[in-house]
Amino acid sequence: MDKRKLLELIKSKNSVFTVNQRKFAKYLYDNLDEAAFVDIKTLALKSDVSIATIFRFSKKLGFSGFLDLKKEIKRIILNSFTYINRMDEFPIDKEKKIDDIFLLSLENDKKNIEDILSVNSIEKFKEAISLILKSNKIFFHAFRNSIPSTMQFYYIFKQLNSNSICLMDSLTLFDKLVNIGSSDLLIAVHFSRYSKEVEKVIDYAYEKKSRILYVTDSDLAPRREKANITFTLQHKSLSFFNNYVPTIALFNAILCGLINKNKSIYRKRLKDIDELMGKFNVLDD
């Protein structure tokens, strides 16, 4: 069963649902993703119905109970993260002119950036700057498609702070991660399709009482509860891949905030780098 078929099944049973079951059906229809990751008690509270209502609702759909329904919903949600499903979710009419697609893509980027402020406060941004500045070592981790934008952030940040450690090399991941401690910060970038490697790195940092700054795409992202600060970003593109324009925009803002807050120290370090590059004569005159 896919998402469309499950929603059609719920809709087809509307005539046999009680008033409260219809209420839950509407909630589930609008918040299907959430049902895959919360327990029945939380779901009953959020949908304003009883646990018994959810159980009977599940039975009327043909499931043995809510756990059986939840298992099916989770399978559907995880399958929706596949490349093909994501490409089909945002179909582009092949008859469209290439300039139309160009404009649509830019409009999509613009919306994703605008959404940064709709779900992330200025206060959270200030807290992130403060957290980075008071941390000793800064560890950076991401996986697969999240690596390029995170590497760019790491590359620029390392020019400002020598205590920057990249964990995005599987050959040295464990040698570096083992050094993380309670005065350090892990910056983890974790978008669907979620990675067990990132989750285990977060688990280890949390176990070591390290601070965690988490950049992800959903309130339901795994390990979110272990982070000190979480930024939630939209990543929708017009095709199968994640859109990292908002991620780069967030990282640019953080870098500008750090430089503004710590300008004198960073100025000296950048001056030293410029002078060293001059001695090596690596740039064209």
Which helix (H) or strand (E) covers residue 139, if one does? strand 138-141
Residue 81 has pLDDT above 60, yes or no: no
**How far is residue 83 from each of residues 87, 150, 203, 222, 231, measured CA to CA in Å?**
6, 21, 27, 20, 24
Which helix (H) or strand (E) covers residue 81, if one does? none
Show Cβ contacts of residue 222 under 8 Å, excluding neighbours closer than 6 positions: 190, 194, 199
Taking only the tens place, the pLDDT of each residue in 140-177 is: 999 988 999 999 999 999 999 999 999 999 899 999 99
**How far is residue 219 from each of residues 37, 191, 222, 227, measured CA to CA in Å?**
10, 11, 9, 12
Residue 273 has pLDDT above 80, yes or no: yes
CA dist., res. 182 & res. 136, Å (int) = 9
**What's the whole-model pTM score?**
0.72
- pLDDT at residue 112, rounded to an integer: 87
Q: Is residue 236 helix, strand or coil? A: coil
Choice among 34-48, 90-104, 172-186 with the minimum mean pLDDT:
90-104
Q: Is residue 140 helix, strand or coil? A: strand
**How far is residue 124 from each of residues 127, 167, 237, 257, measured CA to CA in Å?**
5, 25, 25, 12
Which residue has tokens 């285990």? 200
CA dist., res. 234 & res. 245, Å (int) = 9
Residue 4 C-alpha from the chain's centroid: 24
| Cα four-point dihedral sign 167, 150, 235, 233 | positive
Sorted by where each starts, the structural domains of the chain and their CATH numbers stand as 3-79 (1.10.10.10), 100-280 (3.40.50.10490)
Q: Average pLDDT for residues 255-269, to the nearest whole number?
A: 91
Residue 7 has pLDDT above 90, yes or no: no
Query: Between these two residues, 225 and 101, which has the higher pLDDT value?
Result: 225
Kindly provide the residue ranges of all beta strands, DSSP E only, lying in 205-268, ordered along the sequence. 211-216, 229-232
**How far is residue 17 from each of residues 5, 41, 235, measured CA to CA in Å?**
18, 20, 36
* Identity of the residue numbered 149: S
Tokens of 95: 């008859």
Taking only the tens place, the pLDDT of each residue in 66-77 is: 999 988 887 777
Q: Is residue 60 helix, strand or coil? A: helix
Alpha helices in 36-163 (DSSP H): 40-47, 51-60, 66-79, 83-89, 98-119, 122-134, 147-160
- pLDDT at residue 69, rounded to an integer: 92
Q: Average pLDDT for residues 173-189, to the nearest whole number?
A: 97
Name the residue among 143, 170, 154 with its Cα closest to residue 242.
Answer: 143
Choice among 9-23, 72-86, 270-284 with the minimum mean pLDDT:
72-86
- pLDDT at residue 73, rounded to an integer: 86
